[in-house]
Structure 1
């Protein structure tokens, strides 16, 4: 402690300063409306209301009478306070406000050249949203307030309506801690921070402790974000999802997402009963169809018969099958069903896979930093690890933790751990300390990827740059020991491939048919084929499309999409291409020049080969997704990691060739910091974009609190 006393004192003082700054911001900036309205003379308009009163002295807005209009006010109006009764069922209301003032003698609205007073969302359970600031000119004469929209639950109880109300002081604990966290990040990664002087190789204890702390924080934030979307989680306790709590268990599971979301759980039940097709029988009309994969024909037949069918499952030879990778079923659903008789909660599987991915990413990055580079600092490591795990698309998988997300997330987790074990095996082989167990574990993980997300198997091609020199160029393969090691690399692939091919053959009579072509989806997959015309719009959407932004939280909006491809395009909401929206990837255009530095620095070509394979794999997977399935936001997770991992290695190469005390190194670090910050910010904001089926759609009245927290000035 004596040796580190100055550093500890500095750290304590800095922490105190950060907390104090956050406290001042929360008090005086984020509560600016409290100070701006402190001298307002509040005027109640209750006496002017022409509404029916309830027995508990509330005013009732109904489907017939939901417009409030006040004439001859002749006062300045700075805000309106709609004090809804918090005891009524919570809902989000769309409120339309119009007024006349010194600049407008009639109510005005949007025209071709102007934008009128926008509609505002008000939650009956969010006190902050009930205060609506107005920007009027001079005295307001008439004021009209209308509840608009079709999806409104009447009657609505209103306690008070006031103008020029004093905004209450609201110390938002969540916003305060978020501010502390952002300030702490800014302080930790400032250009002169001590973390840039802590070497990964030179000071392993400090660096490992800091890395572990960073991983714990990341996992906590990801888990918190997942559990916010309680409508998709599928677990209930006394205090969480208590509407689905069984009343006696510490925790119980329940089905979420509808019948279509239970595919993995239903497959686990079928397997437990000794069959590979789902137990639910397809309707007879589906079995009688000449082409059951034509969605239009299916929908017509369903209307005529009134018998529903399962959507987005494989249909073959009179049975329903699950075409998604089988590994999640064997790993999670089947054991859980055999032990409990209940369905495994998919969201928990996504979270577990995400945690494994973050741990594997961090461990893999640490191996590269320690054994292939000698000058990586803790600051540079963390500055690159954060976007690697936060910007690769896993946050969006956590936003929608469904059975669509689980195989992608699990495939990524297996991939990073497979690469990590391979790296451990390479070091063990170099030290002649027995790499076989590491090779077996690594290849098993990489092979299991095929049973999760087959596209991600392209990462197995990293074996070529990792092992070519040792086993081919140096002819180690032709020695007894080398042959044994190589067998350990290949054997898991053979075993897993045999299992998957047997599984496919038992279902579809083909060793290589996973069943995707038999999918009952929005298009006929049996006739989809490979069309070059689909590639251009997909490449633009996946890589080059700029983000669509507005001035309203969460600022990022769904990107527009147009195409000249004169055929059916499968397209869901996306938010811009990765090369346009993740500035940290702007290092890639300099890849050739950076790789030439590595070539001059090292006689081996391992790192160069890894980067080339990562970039090629990313492009290939994006093209495969576009051709086989379409353009979907969750598919960004299939290939974004590959480009981000390549960027990490390129940054390590540049760092290895710079004097850390030079002005060039200082400038490049500042630029990298800015690129990372923008990339992480974009990825975080996408998580809060309102979408169908997410928290904002299911609990809009609660989501309004998120908006009020961010837009504190409104």
Structure 2
């Protein structure tokens, strides 16, 4: 409680000192005595409120002696006394801002004690350790003799003779750092369900030396409580089980600070009318703001850095079967056009090795999802990541990189080039002063919508081609768009060479991703038809882009021919996978299913935090087998949906101006190409999350144009402005929830306790 008195008193003294200093520099607007009275009143009122809240916590909540946070009290007093002090000087906007911050800080401070910790109010302060005599372990649960239990499989601990005022069970868990998240549920028998326990709480946790609180509301008498641990990949140790009458009180400084920062940001936008500021690419402050946001977006890739991504020693004898790109590099080093893997003799003798039923019937040992052709193993995955990252890494270090390192590398640069592409697009389409706040918000929202966070999180052999292909696509778009707009003639060919090379690399990573470069076609055609430039210069520009692309395509076709005897065969037809890929054909009857999966498929709603997960929703009327796995539709992303809702504004009235024609052509490609790609991919490959991210870049670009053109006058378009901002925030939150629910992802491994911490911050009512 002492902080409730000390902090306001200290800030009162500091405020007086600041007032005396400022009075010497600024013209006084009111009498000093009035300001002094207001400072005294505000300090006393703030201190009294803090003292009352602290007393409520101490007297009515378990562990309430932790009281209030001195840092939160400091921030609150800063806002309150600052709002009083600034009224003395001629700064009306700042005064409104600080007043709003003061109100928000006081409300959040009270909410932290009374609302967010409301579940801790109790008249009976029960905190009792459950005795071992009252714990009955189930199968796969062993008593360690020291009050702890080790769970080695799906099992439970049954608690009996609990005090009737028990409303919370506290469990301390510990497990190996490599454990995947598992299900922790609470089953209850009471006056309603007397025999079979009913599940009253369900949580996901990694069990990394954490304490989990699970609340329940019994009907009548408590009979027994089961603590169930399900789907754990490694042994889990359960210790210190406690029965409490309410969850322990905890003033969350993190939650208070985050909410106050969000409130302050929104107040700053309103009070200083930041929503009226249009982005000026020549203004230094705008350049710095966008550069900082671009850097933050790019560095967000490191949130997904895999903690154990260490380089691997290489002598030539290793078989990195978990990494087809490492095996391809191994073949390069050994000057082989096939992988150095000896196939099973049974596989060599099979008439149709691509039939999974025949392989299983004969008991054939084979490498899953590798390509098999003419007695040798190959990889059908694009060679781009090997050339761009694996091979240079090996030459520099003498070691083979971890796949996660490659994924993180391409995610970082892909996000960087994406931000640069969006800025280049603004200039290319001559979008007049797009709203600065929306632009700064759009960059991280697009990082989420285009799939970079998902691809950085779900690291495996299938996502690396997507994230690397996206990286090179964004580099191609950035350099291509910049080449069209730059006035430096010497720079145009250089940028086009880089763009053409990047597109070739994108094709070598994942050909379907490279289709996004089609949006450059109208502008490149415009270069060729621009009669203001000499024909030789126009042809030189075309050659600068096309020649590297042709060279890259020729090398890819030569590589394909050397392996499979066909320039256009990447090896997908020879996959040893779930079905015979040769059975996949283009089929117009699958068009509705493709639209449903790629655009409309909803996430799975779960009863435990983070509540959203990618889902499998196969249909039964495809007419033939189609591979379908977990994923979400592109239109589930709020940014894409809201942005496309503004399409009429994006297209605008039809005029004869060249810029308008180019914008309309660009938008048409952004809308048509994803539909075509969805159908092609569903027919030839099927459906899974990372396939959707071949579509989202173009859809996000279209959404961006719609939002900017619909919010040209935010003062009179408040609903559109707010709706656009909310859609961006929801897209980021939704994407992170999906990432959190991918329990084996790099985000969960990088931050082992993030799942529990995030739930404690957000789900405060239970």
TM-score using structure 1 length = 0.82
Partner of 1:666: 718
Partner of 1:243: none
Structure-2 separation of matches of 1:271 and 1:521: 24
1:645 maps onto 2:733 in alignment: no
Partner of 2:677: 621
> 1:652: how far off?
3.1
* Partner-residue secondary structure (3-state), 2:377: strand
2:278 to 185, 188, 199: 199
Partner of 1:98: 188
Partner of 2:125: 40
Partner of 1:507: 563
1:450 maps onto 2:507 in alignment: yes
Structure-2 separation of matches of 1:546 and 1:87: 34
Consecutive unaligned residues of structure 1, counting only runs of 5 or more, are 111-115, 237-245, 247-251
> 1:666: how far off?
2.7
* Partner-residue secondary structure (3-state), 1:599: coil
> 1:654: how far off?
3.6
1:76 maps onto 2:165 in alignment: yes
> 1:273: how far off?
1.3
Equivalences, count: 668
Which one is further off, 368-377 or 143-152? 143-152
Change (3 A) 1:43 1:270: closer
Partner of 1:169: 250
1:406 to 464, 474, 480: 464
Structure-2 separation of matches of 1:89 and 1:201: 48
Structure-1 separation of matches of 2:536 and 2:152: 84
Over the aligned positions, Cα root-mean-square deviation in angstroms equals: 4.1
* Partner-residue secondary structure (3-state), 1:605: helix
1:153-204 Cα offsets, whole Å, 9 max, x none, are 779554454342662537475x56655665566456x556544343322752
Structure-1 separation of matches of 2:646 and 2:97: 41
1:214 maps onto 2:282 in alignment: no
Structure-1 separation of matches of 2:291 and 2:258: 20
Partner of 1:578: 634
Structure-1 separation of matches of 2:115 and 2:208: 20
* Partner-residue secondary structure (3-state), 2:693: helix
> 1:395: how far off?
1.5
Alignment of 1:492-531 (within 5 A): 492-531=548-587
Is the 2:435–2:708 contact (alpha carbons within 8 Å) kept by the matching residues of 1?
no
Change (3 A) 1:148 1:435: closer
Alignment of 1:391-430 (within 5 A): 391-428=449-486, 430=487
Structure-1 separation of matches of 2:223 and 2:388: 65
2:217 to 135, 138, 142: 135
Is the 1:393–1:640 contact (alpha carbons within 8 Å) kept by the matching residues of 2?
yes
1:567 maps onto 2:648 in alignment: no
1:491-536 Cα offsets, whole Å, 9 max, x none, are 1112111111111111112122111111111111123222333332
* Partner-residue secondary structure (3-state), 1:450: helix
Structure-1 separation of matches of 2:749 and 2:491: 54
1:117 to 165, 189, 200: 200
1:713 maps onto 2:738 in alignment: no
Q: Which of the two has higher C-alpha Rg?
A: 2
* Partner-residue secondary structure (3-state), 1:638: coil
> 1:418: how far off?
1.3
Is the 1:597–1:653 contact (alpha carbons within 8 Å) kept by the matching residues of 2?
no
Structure-2 separation of matches of 1:86 and 1:515: 42
Structure-1 separation of matches of 2:671 and 2:228: 53
> 1:628: how far off?
1.8
> 1:632: how far off?
0.1
2:520 to 463, 475, 492: 463
Partner of 1:368: 425
2:729 to 677, 683, 691: 677
Alignment of 1:212-611 (within 5 A): 212-224=291-303, 226-227=304-305, 230=307, 234-235=309-310, 260-301=321-362, 303=363, 308-370=365-427, 372-428=430-486, 430=487, 432=489, 435-472=492-529, 474-475=530-531, 479-550=535-606, 552-559=608-615, 560-575=617-632, 577-588=633-644, 590-592=646-648, 594-597=650-653, 599=655, 605-611=661-667
Change (3 A) 1:673 1:293: same
Partner of 2:41: none
Change (3 A) 1:313 1:377: same
Structure-1 separation of matches of 2:614 and 2:370: 28
1:214-256 Cα offsets, whole Å, 9 max, x none, are 12222333311x13x54xx5238xxxxxxxxx9xxxxx999xx
> 1:483: how far off?
1.9
Is the 1:477–1:486 contact (alpha carbons within 8 Å) kept by the matching residues of 2?
no
Is the 2:605–2:612 contact (alpha carbons within 8 Å) kept by the matching residues of 1?
yes
Is the 2:166–2:244 contact (alpha carbons within 8 Å) kept by the matching residues of 1?
yes
Structure-2 separation of matches of 1:625 and 1:345: 29
Change (3 A) 1:412 1:401: same
Structure-1 separation of matches of 2:520 and 2:549: 12
Structure-2 separation of matches of 1:424 and 1:328: 25
> 1:326: how far off?
0.9
Structure-2 separation of matches of 1:420 and 1:82: 52
Change (3 A) 1:644 1:219: same
Structure-2 separation of matches of 1:408 and 1:341: 26
* Partner-residue secondary structure (3-state), 1:348: helix
Change (3 A) 1:15 1:260: farther
Higher relative contact order (CA 8 A, sep 6+): 1
Structure-2 separation of matches of 1:679 and 1:347: 25
> 1:645: how far off?
0.5
> 1:42: how far off?
3.0
1:641-692 Cα offsets, whole Å, 9 max, x none, are 111101212333344xx5454x2x3332122222323333222221122456
Partner of 1:242: none
2:226 to 120, 123, 145: 145
1:551-590 Cα offsets, whole Å, 9 max, x none, are 5321213443333113212111123x22244354344255
> 1:66: how far off?
5.8
1:635 maps onto 2:691 in alignment: yes
